Amino acid sequence: MKRARQRHKVGSVVLDKRRKVWNYLYCEDGVRHTRTIGPMRFYPTKAAAWGQVENIKQAIKPVRTAAPIVWALVEQYRTEKMPKRFSTRRSYDSWLNNHIVPKFGSCALSVVQARPVELWLQHLALSPKSRREIRGLLRILWDFAMWRGDVPTQRNPMELVTIRNASKRTRKPRSLTVDEFQRFIVQLGEPFKTIALVCVCFGLRISEALGLKWSDVDWLDGMLNVERGIVRQHVDDVKTVNSHGPMSIDHEMLEILKTWKQTTQFCAPEDWMFASPVQIGRLPWSYPMVLRVFHRAASDAGIGHLSTHTMRHTYRSWLDAVGTAIAVQQRLMRHASIVTTMDTYGSIVTNEMAQANSKVAGLALSRKVIAN
């Protein structure tokens, strides 16, 4: 009886004499199971067959890994995998602190499944794009848990979550006409007038414009190098790899930069181009301050609401207006791609880019521009 109980507990190795194959017999939850160990030619003795039983046990051992608690997983993600770029971290922290952790923080990750997440997102008073960002971050957390081995590798359940109209904008991007832009800059004092001109003549993001230093200007060859961005007064890399690179400066725009350099008290090569006197030149003017000035100027000009990014949208529209080829536009906008074909096969020569930039600057500076 004692031997039978021992066999029930650890199993037994039995030879199938007809097939000359060793089998491992065991019980699990009261159910008898059989696993093949191998033929006698590989395991000539019973002891040799028993030597393989431990490997079989490991293979059949059920996985009972408890899914991590979401808040603990979030903290681990922040330590190990959170992107280093300040603006990206800031965005992720916002979604985590304001939405994900309050909703799922005390739950096991296994609770964060497609259906409850989709129903929750549908009732959030956010734009489709914002809901898509939250879904994307939940997907990242699931991938991170699988990468760590906290949960078995499987299909990410967030792939099943559908966000309707996620690719549609809730607000149509605005571009200014030449007349609207002229009325706008008349209302701006320095350095905000030059900031607006830099943004609209080069299509820079406001973070890139505020991140310019005088050393970024090649005065001899008339080139502007975009090397960095600054977000909420944190210096960081530019948004994408394609955002780097020199841009041709129109001769009249070059004169405007020279005039501003002679005007500002911060004109050393390593000084910020738009250094703030409030910060004693240690930092440029802040984005909120620039935005407030732009809003006030737009209101005074009677052209309605605009954002700093309106300058970049305007640049893109004006490139079209002066007849710029789409492949040239893709390079000037410093996008990774407009379409894959143009990104892969477009070939741009420097003088085409310089001509296009000069035409846009001509619109901003009220020169007569004739499209080719």
Residue-level pLDDT, tens digit, the chain, 372 residues: 444 444 445 788 999 988 888 998 888 777 788 888 888 887 899 988 888 887 777 666 654 457 889 999 999 999 999 998 888 888 999 999 999 999 998 889 999 999 999 999 999 999 888 999 999 999 999 999 999 999 999 999 999 999 887 666 656 778 888 899 999 999 999 999 999 999 999 989 898 999 999 999 999 999 998 888 888 888 777 666 556 678 889 999 999 999 999 999 999 999 999 999 998 889 999 999 999 999 999 999 999 989 988 998 888 888 888 887 777 777 777 776 654 223 333 344 345 567 777 888 888 887 665 544
Contacts made by residues 103-107, CB under 8 angstroms, sequence distance 24+: 104/70, 105/69, 105/70, 105/71, 105/74, 106/69, 106/70, 106/71, 107/69, 107/70
Residues of the chain with CATH 1.20.5: 2-60
Residues of the chain with CATH 1.10.443.10: 178-364
Contacts of 128 (CB under 8 A, 6+ apart): 163, 164, 165, 166, 167, 168, 170
Reported in sequence order, the residue ranges of 202-326 that DSSP labels E, i.e. its strands, are 217-218, 223-226, 229-231, 234-236, 245-248
Reported in sequence order, the residue ranges of 214-258 that DSSP labels E, i.e. its strands, are 217-218, 223-226, 229-231, 234-236, 245-248
Q: If you ran DSSP here, which 8-state letter would residue 159 be given?
A: G
**Does domain 2-60 fall into CATH 1.20.5?**
yes
Q: Is 64 helix (H, G, I), strand (E, B) or coil?
A: coil
Q: CA-to-CA distance for 49 and 36, rounded, in angstroms?
A: 10
Fold of the CATH domain 70-160: DNA polymerase; domain 1 (1.10.150)
Q: How far apart are the first and last CA of the chain?
A: 100
Q: Which CATH architecture has domain 178-364?
A: Orthogonal Bundle (1.10)
pTM of the entire predicted model: 0.63
Q: Is 309 helix (H, G, I), strand (E, B) or coil?
A: coil
Tokens of 228: 């960095």
CB-based contact 324:194 (threshold 8 Å): no
CB-based contact 231:90 (threshold 8 Å): yes
Residues of the chain with CATH 1.10.150: 70-160
CB-based contact 162:235 (threshold 8 Å): no
Give the containing element (helix H, strand E) for 252: helix 251-263
